[in-house]
């Protein structure tokens, strides 16, 4: 068996034709595909407005700044997430407040989030982890009552449904990532969704260096923004994939279900649930957490798999263990046992859209032998 990467994107002819059209029309940076992509993505998620940006991290930074939150107020975030979730708070002169994850779902528990809310809380970033959503309803209800803004971080959740609507349809704003390993990819890229016209206008300004709208005073800047634009070529690739979003989700579900049903009975591992009462897993990635006699042996097992041609990735290092974040966090009273455990013992296996069936079978056989 040849080397199996942790992700192999699946770019098809329709996307390639869109890119060719961009080049033919010389619409490389700006062009019609940006608006087409934004409009269609917003419609799918029942939102009025969409703003494409250069990455999911950029989307988070702009989303937080667009809300105009009070300096040094608190923003509740998950401890188990990529570091971007904390950086977008810190870079906007706000204080991150961490919440430990659930040991079973790997997502934050809704009521643990609610318990962290106080008079200094200005916003909550709800992050859906690895293909399974947080239970949104209790958080949204409490946040609305307390007039706290909610940013729905759906970077890993394109096509994931909470109850009967897509994730990214619920917050005051939502963000997505289009990195190469996401369900929809533009190589690098992201998007912000909202129903608020003022927030939409602010996000558009912030992503574009806050240029003046005046034709004659373009280079007059009244706020600090970023050059976080998505190119027309990237939008053309993303727009092409939106036409087959349901097929993409089906492929990812099939990969995840094959892994889940073949590995779920191995006693030395735990897996994220295949489904829960309000959602079914669409498997952005397929994660494994080692336990019992394999606890603490993650790195050696990842090395064995790599030597056998199977690439893996470790789970996120939680915020409370990030050296660069220590001076920004107040974590003395919390131990974050769940985040620490799954981070230390968790890794994910190949699950990209381009994964072949014989490769899945090989990964399963190899894992059964090594993890037994």
Closest CA to 90 of 66, 110, 115, 61: 61
3-state helix, strand, coil in the chain (%, to 5): 40, 20, 40
**The Cα angle at residue 107 between residues 104 and 108, in degrees rounded to 5:** 110
pLDDT (0 to 100) of residue 126:
97
**Positions of the chain with pLDDT under 50:** none
pLDDT (0 to 100) of residue 87:
97
Inter-residue long-range contacts of 170-174, CB under 8 Å, 24+ positions, other chains counted: 170/136, 170/140, 171/126, 171/140, 172/67, 172/196, 172/199, 173/63, 173/66, 173/67, 173/149, 173/199, 173/203, 174/45, 174/47
- C-alpha torsion sign, points 330, 334, 340, 342: negative
pLDDT (0 to 100) of residue 330:
75
Domains of the chain: 13-101+108-242 (3.40.640.10), 245-371 (3.90.1150.10)
Residues 6+ apart with CB under 8 A from 115: none
Separation CA 233–CA 29 (nearest Å): 7
Based on the number of CB atoms within 10 Å of its own CB, is 267 exposed (0-12), middle (13-18) or buried (19 or more)?
A: exposed
pLDDT tens digits for range 248-282: 999 999 999 999 999 999 999 999 999 999 999 99
Separation of first and last alpha carbons in the chain: 21
pLDDT (0 to 100) of residue 332:
63
């Amino acid at each position: 068996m040849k080397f199996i990467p942790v992700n192999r994107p699946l770019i098809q002819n329709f996307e390639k034709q869109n890119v060719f059209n961009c080049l033919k029309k010389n619409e490389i940076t700006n062009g019609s595909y940006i608006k087409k992509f934004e409009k269609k993505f917003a419609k799918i998620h029942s939102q009025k407005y969409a703003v494409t940006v250069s990455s999911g991290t950029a989307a988070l930074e702009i989303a937080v700044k667009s809300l105009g939150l009070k300096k040094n107020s608190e923003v509740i975030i998950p401890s188990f997430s990529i570091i971007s979730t904390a950086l977008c708070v810190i870079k906007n002169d706000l204080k991150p407040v961490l919440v430990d994850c659930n040991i079973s779902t790997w997502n934050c528990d809704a009521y643990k989030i609610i318990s962290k809310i106080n008079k200094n809380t200005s916003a909550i970033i709800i992050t859906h982890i690895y293909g399974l959503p947080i239970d949104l309803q209790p958080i949204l209800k409490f946040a609305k009552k307390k007039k706290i803004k909610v940013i729905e971080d759906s970077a890993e959740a394109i096509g994931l449904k909470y109850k009967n609507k897509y994730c990214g349809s619920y917050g005051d704003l939502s963000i997505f990532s289009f990195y190469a390993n996401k369900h929809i990819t533009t190589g690098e890229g992201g998007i912000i969704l909202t129903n608020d016209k003022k927030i939409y206008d602010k996000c558009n300004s912030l992503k574009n260096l806050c240029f003046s709208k005046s034709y004659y005073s373009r280079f007059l800047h009244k706020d600090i923004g970023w050059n976080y634009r998505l190119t027309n070529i990237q939008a053309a690739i993303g727009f092409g994939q939106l036409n087959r979003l349901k097929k993409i989700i089906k492929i990812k579900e099939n990969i995840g279900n094959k892994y889940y049903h073949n590995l779920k009975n191995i006693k030395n591992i735990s897996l994220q649930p295949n489904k829960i009462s309000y959602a079914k897993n669409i498997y952005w990635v397929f994660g494994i957490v080692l336990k019992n006699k394999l606890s603490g042996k993650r790195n050696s097992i990842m090395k064995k798999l790599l030597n056998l041609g199977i690439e893996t990735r470790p789970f996120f290092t939680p915020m409370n263990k990030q050296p660069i974040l220590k001076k920004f966090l107040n974590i003395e009273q919390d131990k974050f046992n769940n985040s620490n455990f799954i981070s230390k013992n968790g890794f994910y296996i190949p699950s990209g859209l381009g994964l072949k069936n014989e490769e899945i079978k090989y990964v399963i056989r190899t894992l059964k032998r090594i993890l037994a």
